[in-house]
Structure 1
C-alpha cells in the first residue's frame, strides 16, 4: 500500500487514467462474495483505509479512495474481469456492485488481446475471434448493462489494430474491430463506451506502425467528421 501511495503521489495533480488490476478481481470473484473474501486492509494501511472492512470489497474501496485523495485529477477505473459474462451477466453486476464500482470513475473491459488472424492459426488455438454484428451486439449489450448498473462509463482497451488488408504474417495479422468500431460509433456511444484504446496485447501483433495507416487514417477522418455524442 505504501508503493501504491507513492505511485499516486507521483501522479499528483496531472490528468491520467488508472486501470486497477485486470486479473485480480477475477480471482476475487472465483472465491465468492467480495465482502467475505478476507483481506488485510486496516492493518495494511491505517492511514488511508482505517475505516474500511477487512475484505476484498474493503480493499477495492480503499484503492479508489486513495486514488481520489492523492491524484485528484486522475480517473480510477475497475477492470471488468468477467469471463462468464456471456452466461451470467447479473453475477458480474452483483460482484462489481459489491466491490464498490460505483465509487470508481469508469469501468474497463477487454475486446481481445490478440489479432483475430493470429488466433485463427492452428498454432494459436484456431479460435474464431473475428467480429460480426451479432458478436458486437452481445459485447456492447454487456458493456451497457455494466455501465448502467453502476452509473459509470466503460473504457475498452487493448483493441486489436489489425485489418483485413493484412496477410497474417508477423506484425501483419488480419482483424476487423478497428473498421467495425469506426463504422458503428453510434452503437458504441449508445452502450456508454466513452473511450476506445487501440493497441496490441503481445509483440507479434499488428501495430499502428505496421497496419498500413488504417487506424491513423480512420482516426483523422472521424475527428474531421465531428465525432459522436456520448450517452
Structure 2
C-alpha cells in the first residue's frame, strides 16, 4: 500500500527538521508549566471551570483590548481598576491553567482608533498624552498580575512590532520617557524604549509574568505560506526578524508566532482567495524552518498562537468555516508535525478564533454543541492522553521536595464580608475574606460560592495556593464573580476552606461564612 502523499510529506517534514535541528535549543523559561508541549485555547472570563471539565489543556488565553482612553478598555472590565486581570488569573490557577493575556490595546486607543490601521498605530505612538494613558494601563496590568503572586503570560501587541520593523525599526519615534512615568525615566523615546519599558515595568511589579514578543508577518513583508520561498530565502527572513528583535534591546521571555487570523474557509468564502490559504504540508515545513532560525538566533522559545479551529467537516458558513490546522497538528500524523515544531523551538500551541464569524471551539451560535463540532477538544484530549512531546530545551528537573502535610488544624479567625448583599444578574459579586492565624501556617485558601440547591459542588471557586499566614497578622483575600445573565436567583452561600499545601486535607472549614442574594 502506498503512503498517501500528505502523510508522506509530513514524515519528510519530521525527518528534515530533526536532521537540521539546532545544536542548542532555547531554554524553556522559568515558570513555564510543563516540560512537555503545552496546548491551550481562548476562553472567556469565569470559564476555567467549564473548560477544565471538558479538556486536559494546560493554558487559556484572553485578549486585553478596548483602548486606554476610551472608557471601555480592559482596565474598566469586571469591577474596574484592572480587576479583570486578577479574576482571570485566579480563575485560571484555581482550575490548573496557565493564564495568558494578549494585549491588543494600542490599536483601539484614541486618536488612532479612528484612522487606517497602520497610520493609527503611529499616530498613537507619537502622541505623548496617548502613550501616557496607554503606559499607565500597562503599569496597572503588571501591578494587578503581580498582586496575585502567580505566573502568567503577557503577549505584547500583535502586529505592532511588525509595523515598526517595516517603517523605522528599533529607532522609530515613540513617546516613552516623555510620558512622565517615573519608572520609565531615562529610557529612549523610541520603539526600543517601548520594548524596554515593558521589561522594566514587569521587573518592577510582576517578576513572575512571562513577556511574549510578537513575531509578525508584517515585519518581513512576506508571508512564506503564500510566497513559497526557497530555504535560503527563509533563512534570510529569519535572520532579519532576529536582528530586529535583538536591536530592541529588551529581553522578552517568549516569542509568539501565528499562522493565520482566520480559518482558510473564511478567506475562501468571505475574502475570495480561491482556497489559497489552506496550508499544505510544505507550508508547515517552511514555517518550522523559519521559526527554528529565529529561536536559535534569539535563544527564545516560541508559542504558536491563535491557531484557527475550523475543520474539514464544516460547511463554510458563518461560525462554521473549514480549516486543516487542528487535524494536521492534533489528528492522525499530528505527532510528527508537533515533534518537528518542538525541534524548531516551539513549546506551546494556543488555539482560538480572532474574528466574530470565525469558527469557535465553543457554542457561540447557541445550538447546544461547540461550533467546530467538538473536534478540537476531542483531538486535544486524545493527544494529551497519548503523551505530548517532551521539550528538549527544558531545564534539568530537580527531584521534587515532598511537601510536608500539616496534621493538625491551625487556629485561624475567619471573617467573610460581601460588598453588596444583593447582586443583579450580570452584576459582580465581591467577597473579602480576612484571615488571622494564631501562629504561622502555610495553607491553600479556598473561597467558594454555592448557588441555591447546588449540593456539595461549588458553583465557583478561587484557590490561593501556597499562602503563608503569620501569627497575629491579618491577611485579606478577595473574590470577584461575574454573575451570569441566566444565574439562579435566591440566596447564594459563601464557604471558606483552608487546606494543606497539597490541597487534599481540609484543615479549617467555614460552611456559612457569608451569603448574598442574586435577583
TM (norm. structure 2) is 0.42
Q: 1:64 to 1:45 in 2, by over 3 A?
A: farther
- Hey, what's the Cα distance between the residues in 1 that align with 2:281 and 2:183? 46
| Alpha-carbon spacing, 1:176–1:157, altered in 2? closer, same or farther (3 Å) | same
- TM-score w.r.t. the length of structure 1 is 0.91
Distance, in Å, in 1 between the alignment partners of 2:269 and 2:181 is 51
Name the structure 1 match of 2:374: 213
Cα deviation 1:154-180 (Å, max 9, x = unaligned): 111110001111121222111100111
Q: Is 1:96 aligned with 2:231?
A: no
Tell me the residue number matched to 2:323. Answer: 175
The 5 Å alignment of 1:190-201 reads 190-201=343-354
Q: Is the 8 A contact 1:162 1:176 kept in 2?
A: yes
**1:165-208: CA deviation from partner (whole Å, max 9, x where unpaired):** 11212221111001111212211211111111101111211111
Q: CA–CA distance in 1 between the matches of 2:180 and 2:160?
A: 19
C-alpha distance in 2 between matches for 1:53 and 1:216: 45
Q: Which residue of 2 aligns with 1:6?
A: 140
The answer to whether the Cα contact below 8 Å between 2:265 and 2:275 also exists between their aligned partners in 1 is no
* Structure-2 residue corresponding to 1:54: 189
Aligned CA-pair RMSD: 1.8
Long gaps (5+) in structure 2? 1-134, 225-232, 362-369, 393-519
Alpha-carbon distance between aligned partners in 1 of 2:388 and 2:176, rounded to the nearest angstrom: 43
Shift of the 123–108 alpha-carbon distance from structure 1 to 2, 3 Å rule, reads: closer
Q: Which has the higher contact order (CA 8 A, sep 6+)?
A: 1
SS at match of 1:43: helix
C-alpha separation in 1, matches of 2:314 and 2:246? 41
Counterpart position of 1:115: 263
Structure 1 unaligned blocks of 5 or more:
none
Indicate conservation of the 8 Å contact 2:238/2:291, yes or no. no
List aligned pairs for 1:115-154, cutoff 5 A. Answer: 115-121=263-269, 123-154=271-302
Distance 1:191 1:45, change over 3 A: farther
- Matched with 2:162 is 26
User: Are 2:386 and 1:225 aligned?
Assistant: yes
CA distance in 1, matches of 2:238, 2:217: 8
The equivalent residue for 2:202 is: 67
Contact 1:181 1:188 in 2 (8 A): no
Answer 1 or 2: which has greater strand percent.
2
Q: 8 Å contact 1:159–1:197 — kept in the other structure?
A: yes
Counterpart secondary structure, 2:372: coil
